[in-house]
């Protein structure tokens, strides 16, 4: 087997054609993006459907070319072709196949190619959309092409993933073992679909600023066109961030799932802006109002995606001084961000005042609630931005080094969000234009009463007693119950015969079910986040085999530790048994410390015992001495109550996005607006 | 392959055998230990990327945990312990940024943004109200009729497709 692996490596080194083909396809994609931009601009000016059609063709061909390039890169990784610098730096013949493939998006160069693939892929979908008016679509395809030109040029000229090494090394340096994990193998593609999906919203917003007219039927239609793209990107981003968080939870071995790390914040910013966009686009679609605000958010969401790419890739985040490590790439990305966002927001400042108009609404109305949602989401988004960038700004301004960490966000972001969540259940119950506050209050009384009761029960049930955590439990319950109350109201559940309710359930549009799922999922997440953060228990001690550690109601016994051999690592594997302290329910769990010789790195493999909604989270540390002085291992154990909900909630939210996307009123290419609903 | 593994095994042995690190010894008093744990979450491991000393496996984090426990045992208050750390490592060492002239924007920025956006919204609503005041009494009456009629139709049950 070992010799087989080696042969394959050698064969790969002698099959350079595929790599050359990839490099060629990348150049071709760049040329096609230039053509796409030029032809759609010319097509728009001359009002020529032929030119515009050719631009669409170039967009589709460009996506195919990038796909070919990406496939060639994956082939190079699969074949372990170490004559490609990128493969040599990030792969190794001993690595399992999944991670050879996943390494194709593990480095700066190749993940940038993935970015370009998603960008041109969404661009091709946009080019195929049939229901957009000529001017708007041509402009949007031109903008999307321009983004493609910039990012493909960036890839080609500063970060070519196909750059060669001569002589080729015999063995690669392997992928960072922390990244060799299933959750992280799928995390970047999903995350990028979210980040870069917002580029279509960006292009449509720029196109609308150029083509849009005030006080026309244009804006409701535009809101309708932009919503599916925003929804799809948002759902992808939700799953991507959740997978990343789950990876951090069980791969880093720190017991936490969100650290307010600048890199995490960089992915959270487009999510918050995208969430605001989703809600404001609904108002624009239904009422033709908030048009300029929705456009602004569409520009903002993708700008935050690009800002995130800049922050993460330039090295500016870990330390201001790290910027000098790769100034060329950092400055290029900053230039792309500055040019595209700068131009777009300048256009916005010029055109938005001319686009005023749309329907009026009373403060207490669906529109009013959605505006309030946007106020809070924008403020919390600005808070995250401020907290992420402030240390950089301060250090640049007067050299003072500060840290902005979890306590800051707990004092600023969390109250803002809590306020937003408090009013959330009322939103979907309010009528458009002019709502009835009293009626909504009456319909939510039961949910509110139950939520308060649950908060009290939470206060009694969990030790130590924490008023804020109990209030958080109430808030989570309020979200779920309030959302369910809204559905029950619509279905006339328990008030009409069951058959009648079922009939109503069938006729309820998928979009409404999607909203319900997303809001209830948020409630599920809040419950998990609050209980895990408020009541987790952590203990650490050095244990000799046979000794036991107690964490809350759980007892964890270290049974044995042995050395095991993985495909590309060696590990100390601890076998432990988790039991309830007052007896019963023993369950084995294994935790490892893995050593990867290829990179000389050590990682921890957390042992997770799933107990209902709770996790018993076990980390095997270094060798140490027990209290009695005997040799043993440092074992850390967390009891993370309700941790399951933290990852389940966002998945329900993303499912809600998917369900909404299936609503035929939202589907792309589905012709006309249905008669007034 | 076999040789790689042998080398790996040897180096692994080295790594595994080397540190017999002293584990953290929690303070005997539970309340004091709880204070220590809360402090650990706010103190940054100064050599790590973005980790609290509660999480970090680095030696300095372990040393700092020991220091904090010692100081708690010696009867220092949380504020005194934090002040001591800031004297030694600068503001950087705390995850809670300091409150001083240079960070007012950081601390009050969120509230300012909320007030600005909310205030702008209120101004817009008030302006609109002024616009509606311009209606004549007769128009107001008609409007009330229309709204009343809408009140009936607006029943959510009547329009299940209204999302």
pLDDT of res. A305: 95
A531 and A544 housed in the same domain: no
CA distance A56 to chain B (A): 34
pLDDT tens digit sequence for A100-115: 888 888 788 888 999 9
Q: Which of A5, A371, A509 sits opposite B161 (nearest CB)?
A: A509
pLDDT of res. A676: 36
Smallest CA–CA distance from B2 into chain A, residue: A2
pLDDT of res. A649: 96
CB-CB neighbors (< 8 A) of A541 in chain B: 23
SS3 per-residue string spanning A149-213: HHHHHHHHHHCCCCCECCCCCCCCCCCCHHHCCHHHHHHHHHHHHHHHHHHHHHHHHHHHHHHCC
A17 vs A176, residue with greater confidence: A17
CA distance A87 to chain B (A): 20
Place of tokens 């957009």: A132
pLDDT of res. B30: 83
The answer to whether the Cβ–Cβ distance between B91 and A378 falls below 8 Å is: no
The answer to whether the Cβ–Cβ distance between A390 and B97 falls below 8 Å is: yes
A141 and A257 housed in the same domain: no
In a domain, A671, yes or no: no
A59 and A94 housed in the same domain: yes
The answer to whether the Cβ–Cβ distance between B159 and A677 falls below 8 Å is: yes
The answer to whether the Cβ–Cβ distance between B12 and A412 falls below 8 Å is: no
pLDDT, averaged across chain B: 75
End-of-domain residue from the set A363, A394, A428: A428
Question: Minimal CA–CA distance to A74: which of A476, A66, A56?
Answer: A66
A82 and A158 housed in the same domain: yes
Instruction: Please determine, for residue B161, whether its predicted confidence score (pLDDT) is greater than 50.
Output: no
State the average pLDDT over residues A547-552.
91
Instruction: Please determine, for residue B5, whether its predicted confidence score (pLDDT) is greater than 80.
Output: no
In a domain, A45, yes or no: yes
CB-CB neighbors (< 8 A) of A572 in chain B: 16
pLDDT tens digit sequence for A298-314: 999 999 999 988 888 77
Is residue A395 less than 8 Å (CB to CB) from chain B?
A: no
Task: Report helix, strand or coil for A214.
Answer: coil
A644 vs A492, residue with greater confidence: A644
pLDDT band (50, 70, 90) for residue A670: very low
CA dist A605 and A594 (Å) reads 7
> Cis bond leading into A167, ω under 30°?
yes
CA distance A633 to chain B (A): 9
Ordered by where they begin, the domains of chain B are 2-96 (1.10.8.640), 102-158 (no CATH)
A160 and A86 housed in the same domain: yes
pLDDT tens digit sequence for A367-425: 888 988 999 999 999 999 999 999 988 988 888 889 999 999 999 999 999 999 999 99
A384 and A526 housed in the same domain: no
B interface mutation test: which of A286, A373, A402, A419 has the most B CBs within 10 A? A402
In a domain, A674, yes or no: no
pLDDT of res. B153: 47
Instruction: Please determine, for residue A493, whether its predicted confidence score (pLDDT) is greater than 90.
Output: no
Instruction: Please determine, for residue A336, whether its predicted confidence score (pLDDT) is greater than 60.
Output: yes
pLDDT band (50, 70, 90) for residue B17: very low
pLDDT of res. A173: 78
B133 vs A143, residue with greater confidence: A143
Residues paired with residue A634 on neighbouring β-strands, in sequence order: A542
CB-CB neighbors (< 8 A) of A382 in chain B: 109-110, 113
DSSP state of A95: S
In a domain, A667, yes or no: no
A188 and A176 housed in the same domain: no
The answer to whether the Cβ–Cβ distance between A622 and B7 falls below 8 Å is: no
State the average pLDDT over residues A422-450.
87
pLDDT tens digit sequence for A205-249: 999 999 887 766 888 889 989 999 999 999 999 999 999 999 889
pLDDT, averaged across chain A: 88
**Region of A253 on the Ramachandran plot (φ > 0 left; ψ -120 to 50 alpha; else beta):** left
In a domain, A661, yes or no: no
CB-CB neighbors (< 8 A) of B110 in chain A: 379-380, 382-383, 386, 412-413, 416
The answer to whether the Cβ–Cβ distance between A624 and B103 falls below 8 Å is: no
Instruction: Please determine, for residue A627, whether its predicted confidence score (pLDDT) is greater than 60.
Output: yes
CB-CB neighbors (< 8 A) of B16 in chain A: 572, 593, 595, 622-623
The count of structural domains within chain A is 4
Question: pTM of the prediction?
Answer: 0.89
**Full domain range(s) for residue A129:** 1-180
pLDDT of res. A89: 83
pLDDT of res. A671: 38
Place of tokens 């060669």: A164
A438 vs A268, residue with greater confidence: A268
Alpha helix ranges (H) inside A252-290: 262-287
A414 and A514 housed in the same domain: no
pLDDT tens digit sequence for A166-208: 888 888 877 777 777 887 788 889 999 999 999 999 999 999 9
CB-CB neighbors (< 8 A) of A552 in chain B: none
A107 and A214 housed in the same domain: no
pLDDT of res. A479: 96
B156 neighbors A428 (Cβ within 8 angstroms): no
CB-CB neighbors (< 8 A) of A570 in chain B: 5, 8-9, 12
In a domain, A413, yes or no: yes
Smallest CA–CA distance from A419 into chain B, residue: B114
The answer to whether the Cβ–Cβ distance between B117 and A375 falls below 8 Å is: yes
CB contacts < 8 A, A to B, total 170
CA dist A10 and A81 (Å) reads 8
Task: Give percent above pLDDT 70 in chain A.
Answer: 93
A195 and A319 housed in the same domain: yes
pLDDT of res. A21: 93
pLDDT of res. A263: 85
Is residue A412 less than 8 Å (CB to CB) from chain B?
A: yes
pLDDT band (50, 70, 90) for residue B134: low
A278 neighbors A300 (Cβ within 8 angstroms): no
For residue A346, how many other CB atoms are within 10 A of its CB? 10
Instruction: Please determine, for residue A55, whether its predicted confidence score (pLDDT) is greater than 60.
Output: yes
Instruction: Please determine, for residue A334, whether its predicted confidence score (pLDDT) is greater than 80.
Output: yes
A341 and A412 housed in the same domain: yes
In a domain, A659, yes or no: no
CA distance B22 to chain A (A): 6
Range with lowest mean pLDDT among A477-481, A542-546, A665-669, B90-94 = A665-669
Give Cβ neighbours of residue A447 (< 8 Å, ≥ 6 apart): A425, A478, A481, A482, A484, A485
State the average pLDDT over residues A340-364.
83
In a domain, A585, yes or no: yes
C-alpha triplet A546, A547, A550: angle, nearest 5°: 135
The answer to whether the Cβ–Cβ distance between B163 and A378 falls below 8 Å is: no
Is residue A170 less than 8 Å (CB to CB) from chain B?
A: no
A130 vs B75, residue with greater confidence: B75
A65 and A16 housed in the same domain: yes
pLDDT of res. A141: 96
pLDDT of res. A326: 67
């Amino acid at each position: 087997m070992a010799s087989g692996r080696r042969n394959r490596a050698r064969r790969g080194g002698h099959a350079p054609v595929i790599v050359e083909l990839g490099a060629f396809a990348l150049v071709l994609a760049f040329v096609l993006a230039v053509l796409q931009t030029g032809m759609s601009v010319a097509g728009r000016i001359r009002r020529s459907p032929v030119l515009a059609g050719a631009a669409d063709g170039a967009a589709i061909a460009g996506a195919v070319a990038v796909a070919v390039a990406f496939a060639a890169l994956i082939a190079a990784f699969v074949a372990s072709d170490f004559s490609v610098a990128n493969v040599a730096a990030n792969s190794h013949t001993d690595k399992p196949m999944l991670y050879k493939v996943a390494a194709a998006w593990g480095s700066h160069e190749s993940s940038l190619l993935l970015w370009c693939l998603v960008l041109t892929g969404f661009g091709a979908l946009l080019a195929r959309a049939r229901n957009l008016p000529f001017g708007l679509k041509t402009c949007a395809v031109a903008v999307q092409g321009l983004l493609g030109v910039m990012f493909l040029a960036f890839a080609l000229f500063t970060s070519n993933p196909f750059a060669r090494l001569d002589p080729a090394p015999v063995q690669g340096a392997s992928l960072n073992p922390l990244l060799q994990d299933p959750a992280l193998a799928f995390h970047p593609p999903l995350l990028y679909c979210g980040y870069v999906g917002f580029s279509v919203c960006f292009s449509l917003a720029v196109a609308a600023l150029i083509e849009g007219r005030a006080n026309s039927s244009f804006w409701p239609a535009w809101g309708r066109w932009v919503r599916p793209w925003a929804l799809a990107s948002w759902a992808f981003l939700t799953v991507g961030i959740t997978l990343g968080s789950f990876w951090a939870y069980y791969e880093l071995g720190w017991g936490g799932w969100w650290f307010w790390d600048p890199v995490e914040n960089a992915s959270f910013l487009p999510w918050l802006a995208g969430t605001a966009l989703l809600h404001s686009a609904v108002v624009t679609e239904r009422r033709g109002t908030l048009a300029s605000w929705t456009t602004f958010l569409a520009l903002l969401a993708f700008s935050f995606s690009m800002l995130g790419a800049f922050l993460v890739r330039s090295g500016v985040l870990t330390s201001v001084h790290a910027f000098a490590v790769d100034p060329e790439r950092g400055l290029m990305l900053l230039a792309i961000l500055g040019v595209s966002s700068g131009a777009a927001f300048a256009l916005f400042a010029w055109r938005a005042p001319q686009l005023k108009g749309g329907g009026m609404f009373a403060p207490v109305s669906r529109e009013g609630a959605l505006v309030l949602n946007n106020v809070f989401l924008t403020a919390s988004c600005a808070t995250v931005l401020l907290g992420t960038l402030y240390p950089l700004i301060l250090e640049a301004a007067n050299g003072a080094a500060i840290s902005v960490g979890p306590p800051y966000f707990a004092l600023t972001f969390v109250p803002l969000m809590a306020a937003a969540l408090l009013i959330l259940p009322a939103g979907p119950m309010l009528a458009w234009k002019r709502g009835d506050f009293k009626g909504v209050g009456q319909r939510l009384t039961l949910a509110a009463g139950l939520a308060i009761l649950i908060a009290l029960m939470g206060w009694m049930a969990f030790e130590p007693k924490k008023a804020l955590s109990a209030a958080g439990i109430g808030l989570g319950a309020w979200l779920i119950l309030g959302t369910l109350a809204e559905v029950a109201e619509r279905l006339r559940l328990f008030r009409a015969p069951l058959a009648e309710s079922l009939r109503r359930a069938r006729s309820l549009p998928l979009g409404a079910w999607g909203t319900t799922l997303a809001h209830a999922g948020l409630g599920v997440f809040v419950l998990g986040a609050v209980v895990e953060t408020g009541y987790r228990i952590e203990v650490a001690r050095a244990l000799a085999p046979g000794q036991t550690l107690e964490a809350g109601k759980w007892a964890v016994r270290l049974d044995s530790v042995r050395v095991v051999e993985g495909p590309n690592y060696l590990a100390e594997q601890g076998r432990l048994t988790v039991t309830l302290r007052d007896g019963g329910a023993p369950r084995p769990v294994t935790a490892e410390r893995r050593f990867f010789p290829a990179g000389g790195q050590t990682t921890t493999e957390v042992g997770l015992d799933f107990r209902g909604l709770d996790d018993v989270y076990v980390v095997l540390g270094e060798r140490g001495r027990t209290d009695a002085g005997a040799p043993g291992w440092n074992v850390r154990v967390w009891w993370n109550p309700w941790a399951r909900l933290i990852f389940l909630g966002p998945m329900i939210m993303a499912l809600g996005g998917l369900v909404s996307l299936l609503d035929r009123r939202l589907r792309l290419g589905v012709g006309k607006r249905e008669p007034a609903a | 392959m076999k040789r790689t593994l042998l080398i790996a095994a040897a180096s692994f042995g080295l790594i595994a055998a080397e540190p017999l690190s002293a584990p953290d010894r929690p303070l005997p008093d539970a309340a004091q230990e709880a204070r220590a744990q809360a402090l650990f979450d706010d103190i940054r491991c100064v050599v790590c990327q973005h980790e609290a000393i509660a999480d970090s496996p680095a030696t300095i984090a372990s040393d700092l945990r020991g220091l904090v426990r010692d100081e708690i045992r010696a009867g220092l208050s949380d504020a005194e312990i934090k002040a001591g750390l800031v004297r030694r490592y600068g503001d950087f060492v705390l995850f809670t940024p300091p409150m001083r002239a240079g960070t007012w924007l950081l601390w009050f920025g969120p509230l300012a943004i909320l007030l600005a956006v909310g205030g702008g919204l209120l101004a817009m609503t008030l302006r609109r109200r002024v616009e509606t005041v311009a209606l004549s009494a007769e128009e107001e009456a008609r409007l009330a009729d229309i709204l009343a009629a809408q009140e009936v139709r607006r029943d959510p049950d009547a329009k299940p497709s209204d999302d």
